[in-house]
Chains A and B, each alone.
Chain A
């Protein structure tokens, strides 16, 4: 069968199910008795198994099958979930994820699942699960493990498809049996010298159909009609008649050599799973519904997720290829450029009718811009939902008790931003877990609850989205940071004394500074935070840190809503035009030449009581002179980078405008102080100034 068209759907849905299992497992860990949760996990695992088997990913199906068995025992109270079992199941989910990634990457999803299947089997037998890692190392054991796995797969196949029935057919049979019918598997062989095989098959089919309902034929009816079978074919019939009667009916057809009739008895295991499947059906089209949980964290999380889930049930949605949205965005960008051009032309022409029309068009395209931008918005949940698991594992490795609280997971951000913030957030979370939150003993000694709290919070504000990573740990050790910074030569004694606490904390973002006395696997060697900062800044955002000694640390990331269309101030220097992103501008001002002062061979101005260095764009960009006459006043754009400021000296301000970000292409990379280009209303290209590079 052509499976490709289903592959994407399979991958998407499997991701959702694996995520659901992960989520539920985390809740289950705190509440191991909760049968509802186990049921939820069981259903997800079961659906995964069904899908994987249908798509022919046998390893995946085999693994989920074993997982299902363990879960089945657990929900029937034959097995008590303990941490060892949890670990094995978590490991399963990891392997499933690996397989899925392999499949998504065009691979075959094959993984060696033998040791993990063996571990699951051991649990079923009531043995203590052998540590999975150990078994990984010891060769002979894993070899025997493989054997078990092989049988497991074989068993699965047999168990799952004794008559090669799928879940749907099982359901039908199951229901029929409940209402007093029998289900039969009938194998009919035609004689070797049979001339009209297709006709005989048809007669058998026809006769059987008079006795009941045929739900499956192997090969398919079409193939039977086209005589695409060797000697025998199989039919599954639901009927009230007896086996004898059926056998006779078939034998009435001539040229039939033999017939074998067997009554199908779906085993208990399967009945159960089929029932599960049934229950699952109504919810299948909806995003996996979240289980209400008792604990505070999960309540928050559920609350955050609930509106999303609700939305998808009430409003109709379609899945759109993300590339099409990108194309749409690009086309719209072209339109924005033409809009600028039209506005300019209309102004120049001075015709009021034309101007009105253009104005109207501008308003409409403004609305359109909003819609297109929101279409590309995705909830940060996509990034956040992998963190609970990561934090759990990490806390375990670090031997700390940590409660991760997620707030505002439904906050939306542009897809391009979402794709990029995962790594920086991982860094920050790891940092909080490793350096922020203390060990249980330390916390006890400090009179804090043993369990540390790490909060991940996202919210909108203006044209920005803020993401906060807050912990209630020991806070940043001001002296230690200062000492390290001095040691590493990041700053001098002189400057150190004049720094505020916050400025010292910000030193954490400087490269080559790690305050952990011991280098750990977790947060590395102080390469983390400066990488975070660079990454966030490359996205047009900024990050800061604040800390209360003994009470905790907060990292704050500020991100723009979108990256493709930004507001900018257009300025002119001689004959050249540049765009300065509004996000880095504090204000524009005009000074008289007398206002300029000199300090350390540098022109500076006094801007609201602060000394701000002046940067001449003309000299930095080697802009050639033009003949145009200029007045004496000096126009300055005051820009900032964090707490630092600079004044860009320009000839004139053209005005504020929405501009479409374009890259300079692959040929021109790393141009100094230029972050990209845009196309102006007159069709010319203007360069976008990267203010960060101009502020030292």
Chain B
């Protein structure tokens, strides 16, 4: 048994990659990680919404995270993954370049986000974790998946 005094509070995150950066989402928000399958396009929705997929009987919307954050699009390939996340009643799949790691981060290694990291505005971020030589950007999914923004976009397009 470990001595409890030495244990710093940690969070477990799923690490994924977008362009050159590494990002993290908390494991308890992630339902599963899937390979990219056929997406049914949903017309008249914002560009970052790629469509919907059949996730074991549940119709799940898919968001392209690159587009969501305004990073240039890349063609999907073998490593492309869909991370299915659940925030409250919302269940959404996030398309990422790759996802292949689960790590524990000590809470005290998380720093508040700078204004812009990897082209992403600070509102969408929970913080930045410095681990040895890695820099992990933690997403604030509540903000990333805020439906108000979709409505605003719809209004602008309309």
A residues touching B (Cβ–Cβ < 8 Å)? Answer: 330, 333-334, 337, 576, 620-623, 662-674, 677, 679, 683-687
Query: Which one, A330, A622, A663, A684, contacts B54 given CB within 8 A?
Result: A684
Q: Which 3 A-B pairs have the closest CB atoms?
A: A621-B43, A685-B40, A677-B59
Query: Are A684 and B91 in contact (CB-based, < 8 A)?
Result: no
- Name B46-100 residues within 8 Å CB distance of A: 49, 51-54, 57-61, 88-92
Q: A685-B52, A685-B54 are in contact. Are A622 and B40 (CB under 8 A)?
A: no
In the bound assembly, the distance between CA atoms of A601 and B41 in angstroms comes to 29
Q: A677-B59, A679-B54, A685-B53 are in contact. Are A667 and B42 (CB under 8 A)?
A: no
Q: A334-B57, A685-B52 are in contact. Are A668 and B42 (CB under 8 A)?
A: yes
For the A-B complex, the count of residue pairs with Cβ-Cβ distances under 8 Å equals: 79
Chain B, Cβ-Cβ closest to A677: B59
Known: A576-B40, A662-B58, A685-B53. 17 other contacts (CB 8 A): A621-B43, A621-B44, A622-B43, A663-B59, A664-B61, A665-B59, A665-B61, A665-B91, A668-B150, A671-B42, A671-B43, A671-B44, A674-B42, A679-B57, A684-B38, A684-B54, A685-B52
Query: Are B38 and A687 in contact (CB-based, < 8 A)?
Result: no
In the bound complex, residues from chain B placing their C-beta under 8 Å from that of A686 are 40
In the bound assembly, the distance between CA atoms of A666 and B151 in angstroms comes to 13
In the bound assembly, the distance between CA atoms of A685 and B38 in angstroms comes to 9
Query: Are B44 and A667 in contact (CB-based, < 8 A)?
Result: no
Q: A667-B147, A679-B54 are in contact. Are A684 and B40 (CB under 8 A)?
A: yes
Chain B, Cβ-Cβ closest to A623: B43
In the bound complex, residues from chain A placing their C-beta under 8 Å from that of B41 are 576
Selected A-B contacts with CB under 8 Å, 18 pairs = A621-B44, A623-B43, A666-B88, A667-B147, A668-B45, A670-B151, A671-B43, A672-B44, A673-B43, A673-B44, A677-B40, A679-B54, A679-B57, A679-B59, A684-B40, A684-B54, A685-B52, A685-B54
Is the C-beta of B33 less than 8 angstroms from some C-beta in chain A?
no
In the bound assembly, the distance between CA atoms of A330 and B44 in angstroms comes to 29
Chain A, Cβ-Cβ closest to B91: A665
Separation in Å of the B121 CB from the closest CB of chain A?
20
Separation in Å of the A565 CB from the closest CB of chain B?
14
The interface residues of chain A, by DSSP majority, are classed as: loop
In the bound complex, residues from chain B placing their C-beta under 8 Å from that of A673 are 43-44
Chain B, Cβ-Cβ closest to A684: B38
Is the C-beta of B27 less than 8 angstroms from some C-beta in chain A?
no
Is the C-beta of B145 less than 8 angstroms from some C-beta in chain A?
yes
In the bound complex, residues from chain A placing their C-beta under 8 Å from that of B89 are 666
In the bound assembly, the distance between CA atoms of A576 and B88 in angstroms comes to 31
In the bound assembly, the distance between CA atoms of A662 and B55 in angstroms comes to 12
Q: A621-B44, A674-B43 are in contact. Are A664 and B57 (CB under 8 A)?
A: no
**Residue of A622, A684, A685 with most partner-chain B CB within 10 A:** A685
In the bound complex, residues from chain B placing their C-beta under 8 Å from that of A672 are 43-44
Query: Are B38 and A667 in contact (CB-based, < 8 A)?
Result: no
Chain B, Cβ-Cβ closest to A333: B57
Query: Which one, A663, A667, A669, contacts B145 given CB within 8 A?
Result: A667
In the bound assembly, the distance between CA atoms of A679 and B56 in angstroms comes to 10
In the bound complex, residues from chain A placing their C-beta under 8 Å from that of B91 are 665-667
In the bound complex, residues from chain A placing their C-beta under 8 Å from that of B45 are 668, 671
Query: Are A683 and B54 in contact (CB-based, < 8 A)?
Result: yes
In the bound complex, residues from chain A placing their C-beta under 8 Å from that of B44 are 621-622, 671-673
In the bound assembly, the distance between CA atoms of A664 and B40 in angstroms comes to 12
Separation in Å of the B42 CB from the closest CB of chain A?
6
Contact size range, B: 20 to 34
Chain B, Cβ-Cβ closest to A662: B59
Query: Are A669 and B147 in contact (CB-based, < 8 A)?
Result: yes
Query: Are A667 and B90 in contact (CB-based, < 8 A)?
Result: yes
Query: Which one, A333, A679, A687, contacts B42 given CB within 8 A?
Result: A687
Chain A, Cβ-Cβ closest to B40: A685
In the bound assembly, the distance between CA atoms of A621 and B90 in angstroms comes to 25
Query: Which one, B52, B53, B88, contacts A668 given CB within 8 A?
Result: B52
Separation in Å of the A77 CB from the closest CB of chain B?
60
In the bound assembly, the distance between CA atoms of A666 and B52 in angstroms comes to 13
Query: Are B59 and A664 in contact (CB-based, < 8 A)?
Result: yes
In the bound complex, residues from chain A placing their C-beta under 8 Å from that of B145 are 667
Separation in Å of the A542 CB from the closest CB of chain B?
25
Separation in Å of the B34 CB from the closest CB of chain A?
13
Query: Which one, B42, B43, B49, B61, contacts A620 given CB within 8 A?
Result: B43
In the bound assembly, the distance between CA atoms of A685 and B59 in angstroms comes to 7
Q: A665-B91, A667-B145 are in contact. Are A337 and B42 (CB under 8 A)?
A: no
In the bound assembly, the distance between CA atoms of A686 and B59 in angstroms comes to 10
Separation in Å of the B75 CB from the closest CB of chain A?
16
In the bound complex, residues from chain B placing their C-beta under 8 Å from that of A679 are 54, 57, 59
Chain A, Cβ-Cβ closest to B39: A685
In the bound assembly, the distance between CA atoms of A665 and B89 in angstroms comes to 8
In the bound assembly, the distance between CA atoms of A679 and B90 in angstroms comes to 19
In the bound complex, residues from chain A placing their C-beta under 8 Å from that of B59 are 662-665, 677, 679, 685
**Residue of A664, A668, A671 with most partner-chain B CB within 10 A:** A668
In the bound complex, residues from chain A placing their C-beta under 8 Å from that of B90 are 665-667
In the bound assembly, the distance between CA atoms of A677 and B43 in angstroms comes to 13
In the bound complex, residues from chain A placing their C-beta under 8 Å from that of B38 are 683-684
Chain A, Cβ-Cβ closest to B145: A667
Chain A, Cβ-Cβ closest to B51: A685
Query: Are A677 and B57 in contact (CB-based, < 8 A)?
Result: no
In the bound assembly, the distance between CA atoms of A668 and B44 in angstroms comes to 11
Separation in Å of the B62 CB from the closest CB of chain A?
10
In the bound complex, residues from chain A placing their C-beta under 8 Å from that of B60 are 665
In the bound assembly, the distance between CA atoms of A334 and B54 in angstroms comes to 11
In the bound complex, residues from chain B placing their C-beta under 8 Å from that of A620 are 43
In the bound assembly, the distance between CA atoms of A330 and B58 in angstroms comes to 10
Separation in Å of the A337 CB from the closest CB of chain B?
7
In the bound complex, residues from chain B placing their C-beta under 8 Å from that of A622 are 43-44
Query: Are B61 and A667 in contact (CB-based, < 8 A)?
Result: yes
Query: Are B57 and A337 in contact (CB-based, < 8 A)?
Result: yes
In the bound assembly, the distance between CA atoms of A673 and B43 in angstroms comes to 9
Query: Are A668 and B40 in contact (CB-based, < 8 A)?
Result: no
Separation in Å of the A670 CB from the closest CB of chain B?
8
In the bound complex, residues from chain A placing their C-beta under 8 Å from that of B154 are 670
In the bound complex, residues from chain B placing their C-beta under 8 Å from that of A687 are 40, 42-43, 52
Q: Beta-carbon contacts of B143-156 to A below 8 Å, as 1s and 0s? A: 00101001100100
Query: Which one, A621, A662, A663, A667, contacts B92 given CB within 8 A?
Result: A667
Separation in Å of the B6 CB from the closest CB of chain A?
42
In the bound assembly, the distance between CA atoms of A679 and B59 in angstroms comes to 8
In the bound assembly, the distance between CA atoms of A687 and B89 in angstroms comes to 21
Chain B, Cβ-Cβ closest to A660: B57
In the bound assembly, the distance between CA atoms of A334 and B59 in angstroms comes to 12
In the bound complex, residues from chain A placing their C-beta under 8 Å from that of B40 are 576, 677, 684-687
In the bound complex, residues from chain B placing their C-beta under 8 Å from that of A333 are 57
In the bound complex, residues from chain B placing their C-beta under 8 Å from that of A664 are 42, 52, 59, 61
Separation in Å of the B39 CB from the closest CB of chain A?
8
In the bound complex, residues from chain A placing their C-beta under 8 Å from that of B150 are 667-668
In the bound assembly, the distance between CA atoms of A664 and B151 in angstroms comes to 16
Separation in Å of the A58 CB from the closest CB of chain B?
39
In the bound assembly, the distance between CA atoms of A623 and B51 in angstroms comes to 13
In the bound assembly, the distance between CA atoms of A616 and B11 in angstroms comes to 51
Query: Are B57 and A668 in contact (CB-based, < 8 A)?
Result: no
In the bound complex, residues from chain B placing their C-beta under 8 Å from that of A670 are 151, 154
Chain B, Cβ-Cβ closest to A337: B57
Chain A, Cβ-Cβ closest to B60: A665
In the bound assembly, the distance between CA atoms of A338 and B154 in angstroms comes to 36
Chain B, Cβ-Cβ closest to A617: B43
Separation in Å of the A326 CB from the closest CB of chain B?
14
Separation in Å of the B52 CB from the closest CB of chain A?
5
